[in-house]
Amino acid sequence: MDATSILKLHDLKKTPGRIAIIKALQVTAKPLSENEIKLEMAENYDRITFYRNIQTLSTAGIIHKIVVDNTMVRYGLNCCEAKHDHHVHKNEHAHFYCESCQSVVCMEQIRIPQFNLPEGYKSIDCDIIIRGKCEKCNH
């Protein structure tokens, strides 16, 4: 599905920045940092607009944010051809961080289990980051 169709499906305005962010994530098919997205966006990049668009796309469930540590954040594209419960989708899988090449990969095959929290507690978010070496760096 192209970027314009994804925005239309989520009733979002078609803007050059939003289209550029989605296209950047589609081209690489892996989560990217702000700088990596910035390179793909070229003249469509503006820092303030970038963060507004990231927030809008995240709230709509089009992308998800992956916080690797307090200095590294990546953004991943959710599959928009799947069922549209994106707010659940972003929390359903783990992410792998390669300590060598610093790539981040969505590990769709590793599902995050549902936790039974004690009474009075409410879960808002759950992230699992697996750290190690990717298959390319491990050889």
Residue 26 has pLDDT above 90, yes or no: yes
pLDDT higher at 83 or 18: 18
Residue 124 has pLDDT above 90, yes or no: no
Which pLDDT does position 81 carry in this prediction? Answer: 56
Q: At 93, is the pLDDT very low, low, confident or very high (cuts 50, 70, 90)?
A: confident
pLDDT for 88 equals 43
Amino acid 13: pLDDT = 96
Write down the pLDDT at residue 85.
47
Question: What's the pTM?
Answer: 0.80
Q: Does residue 115 have a pLDDT over 60?
A: yes
- Of the options 1.10.10.10, 1.20.1510.10, 3.40.50.620, 3.40.50.1400, the CATH number for the domain spanning 3-132: 1.10.10.10
Strand 72-77 relative to strand 63-69, pairing: antiparallel
What's the average model confidence in pLDDT over 111-116?
83
